[in-house]
């Protein structure tokens, strides 16, 4: 092929075949390799429409990922951490960028440094008991929380009084982190939208579902997704929540678990463990995770559905407050198994099927909706 002929073919490919590639048509084969030129100038977003690439990926359409190992999740965390390295050391990089993940400790530090006095006035640290209930609790109830831990307990209850403020950059980063970790997305999402219903909120605005738990509900979700071992657990529960028969609103269920943790703290059910560890927040976090794990186990093994939600939560609350130490031990054993790659909440159960309905289409009964509450001010924080 002479030089003029080659130039003619090259021009023809640029002018004609690039257009066909953009439209999703494959260029004809070229023994000279000149067909490669057809891809020059084609944007990456258009390449996915190319018939050759479609053929290569056709077999993967039905593939579903299995349980991801802790090593893979840890590697993802290390890679994501690279994004937070700022090359411009001379300028102050904003820590409130919406695209930057936030850790649990950083979010907690935010609440430890801001003025929460107006919210702290609303809390009632312990349950008020009178008559025989007070006597019984004094004689047979759990020990009181050590004096040095009461400020930490009050901080937990105060955070539960704080709502979600979409104008606060830190609040936005918490939401973005939860979304990215649960979905595996690398991109930011809107703070309001249908994608929150996909994760199990009942509406497009997560703030409307935090009743009785406040921002503590989001901190608990953040705690769950920012550790590689509990992230595996969270993603498995999320898969279970999307089961075509046993579906439930994942995030709304998590809010209800946070409410149970708040109530257990106020009723001093966690005081013995807090006194032993000389910490409150880690104990409350672990109790939340252990209770969520227990709920998922009961839900899967007893084949519960959304119509059972209120009764499941009521029984779960009673058993969790009665035996918190046993519950925490179960979580410890499960996480040890995750570290060894031996624990799987769902096992071989297949949670796929017809698309589960949005959370707003499910009739969900939470702990606040049950009529048979005790007379001790159960959900007053």
For residue 17, being part of any structural domain is answered with no
pLDDT value at position 315?
A: 96
Closest to 75 (Cα-Cα) out of 286, 240, 231: 231
pLDDT value at position 325?
A: 94
| Domain enclosing residue 135, as ranges | 104-340
For residue 351, being part of any structural domain is answered with no
Interatomic CA distance for residues 332 and 73, integer angstroms: 19
Q: Number of structural domains, the chain?
A: 1
pLDDT value at position 211?
A: 87
For residue 176, being part of any structural domain is answered with yes
Per-residue pLDDT tens over the stretch 179-193: 999 999 998 899 999
pLDDT value at position 83?
A: 46
For residue 353, being part of any structural domain is answered with no
Closest to 230 (Cα-Cα) out of 65, 64, 73, 72: 73
For residue 304, being part of any structural domain is answered with yes
For residue 73, being part of any structural domain is answered with no
Helices (H), the chain: 3-12, 18-22, 44-47, 51-57, 70-82, 104-113, 117-120, 131-140, 150-159, 169-183, 195-198, 214-225, 228-241, 250-266, 271-277, 281-301, 309-322, 324-339
pLDDT value at position 340?
A: 80
pLDDT value at position 67?
A: 56
pLDDT value at position 143?
A: 87
pLDDT value at position 192?
A: 93
For residue 226, being part of any structural domain is answered with yes
Closest to 235 (Cα-Cα) out of 226, 227, 244, 225: 225
Q: 54 is written with which tokens? A: 């479609």
Please tell me what DSSP assigns to residue 370: -
For residue 348, being part of any structural domain is answered with no
pLDDT value at position 352?
A: 44
Closest to 248 (Cα-Cα) out of 371, 379, 372, 361: 361
Q: Exposed (0-12), middle (13-18) or buried (19+): which is 233, by Cβ within 10 Å?
A: buried
pLDDT value at position 376?
A: 39
Q: Exposed (0-12), middle (13-18) or buried (19+): which is 128, by Cβ within 10 Å?
A: exposed
Compute the C-alpha angle 263/264/265, nearest 5°.
90
The total of other beta-carbon atoms located within 10 Å of residue 271's CB is 23
Sites in the chain below the pLDDT cut of 70? 1-98, 130, 133-137, 139-141, 343, 345-381
């Amino acid at each position: 092929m002479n030089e003029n002929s080659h130039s003619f073919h090259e021009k023809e490919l640029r002018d004609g075949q690039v257009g066909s590639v953009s439209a999703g048509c494959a260029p004809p084969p070229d023994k000279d390799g000149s067909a490669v030129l057809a891809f020059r100038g084609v944007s990456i977003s258009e390449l996915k429409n190319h018939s050759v690439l479609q053929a290569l990926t056709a077999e993967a359409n039905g593939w579903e990922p299995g349980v991801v190992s802790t090593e893979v999740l840890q590697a993802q965390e290390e890679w994501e951490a690279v994004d937070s390295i700022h090359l411009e050391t001379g300028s102050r990089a904003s820590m409130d960028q919406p695209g930057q993940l936030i850790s649990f400790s950083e979010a907690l530090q935010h609440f430890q440094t801001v003025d929460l006095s107006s919210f702290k006035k609303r809390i009632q640290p312990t349950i008020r008991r009178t008559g025989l209930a007070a006597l019984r609790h004094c004689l047979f109830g759990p020990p009181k929380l050590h004096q040095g831990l009461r400020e930490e307990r009050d901080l937990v209850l105060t955070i539960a009084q704080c709502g979600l403020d979409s104008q606060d950059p830190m609040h936005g980063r918490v939401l973005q982190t939860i979304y990215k970790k649960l979905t595996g997305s690398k991109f930011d999402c809107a703070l309001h939208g249908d994608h929150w219903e996909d994760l199990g909120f009942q509406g497009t605005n997560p703030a409307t579902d935090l009743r009785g738990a406040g921002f503590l509900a989001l901190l608990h979700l953040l705690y769950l997704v920012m550790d590689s071992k509990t992230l595996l657990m969270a993603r498995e529960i999320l898969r279970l929540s999307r089961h075509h028969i046993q579906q439930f609103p994942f995030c709304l269920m998590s809010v209800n678990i946070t409410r149970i943790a708040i109530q257990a703290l106020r009723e001093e059910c966690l005081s013995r463990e807090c006194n032993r560890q000389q910490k409150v927040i880690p104990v409350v976090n672990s109790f939340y995770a252990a209770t969520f794990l227990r709920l998922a186990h009961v839900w899967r093994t007893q084949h519960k559905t959304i119509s059972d939600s209120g009764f499941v939560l009521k029984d779960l609350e009673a058993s969790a407050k009665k035996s918190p130490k046993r519950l925490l031990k179960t979580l410890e054993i499960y996480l040890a198994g995750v570290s060894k790659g031996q624990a799987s909440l769902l096992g071989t159960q297949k949670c796929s099927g017809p698309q589960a309905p949005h959370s707003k289409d499910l009739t969900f009964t939470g702990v606040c909706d049950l009529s048979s509450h005790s007379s001790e001010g159960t959900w007053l924080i």
